[in-house]
Amino acid sequence: MALYDMHKRMMYGTPFAVAITTGMRPSECIGLKWQGVDWERATVSVKRTLRKGPTGQWEYGETKRAGSRRLTRLQNWVLARLKQLREFQATHPVVDPEEWPEAVDLILVTELQSSDGQ
């Protein structure tokens, strides 16, 4: 089965499609924000990552190295999939901004995540 067909059948098809087609680390995919998507140029800005902080709690922060911050090209079908996800999230909010303000603009947020990253 082709990757294009396979991603449609998976619960996490969009995150899988982004990760596989861009080569991003999982922690980078989880840190993506909608404000980093350039719909005209079909790119996404990789600036943040999910990592364990000094206290052992999961937190978002900048990538470890400046060289890891980059623009990544998105294939057209992945960009279309992201547009569908954005429309879905607009009508079906997953997080309450008052409970978890940092997650409001996250692309790949799910009901399974929480402010402690679990």
pLDDT digits (tens, 9 = 90+) for 69-117: 899 999 999 999 999 989 988 888 878 888 888 788 899 886 544 444 3
Say if 117 falls within a structural domain. no
Contact 79, 93 (CB under 8 A): no
| Token code pair at residue 37 | 């998507």
Boundaries of domain holding 28: 3-103
Span 5-32, average pLDDT: 80
Nearest to 102 by CA among 31, 12, 16: 31
| Mean pLDDT score, 20-48 | 93
Q: What is the CATH number of the domain that holds 38?
A: 1.10.443.10
What's the chain's average pLDDT?
Answer: 82
Residue 92: CB atoms within 10 Å: 7
Based on the number of CB atoms within 10 Å of its own CB, is 76 exposed (0-12), middle (13-18) or buried (19 or more)?
A: exposed
Given a cut of 60, is residue 7 above it in pLDDT?
Answer: no
Task: Please check whether residue 115 lies inside any domain of the structure.
Answer: no
Residue 69 placed within a domain: yes
- Judge whether 75 and 21 are in contact, CB under 8 Å: yes
Structural domains in the chain (count): 1
Q: Is the pTM of this model over 0.85?
A: no
In a domain, 116, yes or no: no
Q: Is residue 110 part of a domain?
A: no
User: Is residue 87 in a domain?
Assistant: yes
Which is nearest to 104 in space by CA: 11, 54, 113, 24?
Answer: 113
> Contact at 8 Å (CB) between 28 and 72?
no
Token output for 12:
């996490």
Instruction: Say what the pLDDT of residue 11 is.
Output: 56
Distance CA 33, CA 8 (A): 22
Point out which residues pair with 24 in neighbouring strands: none
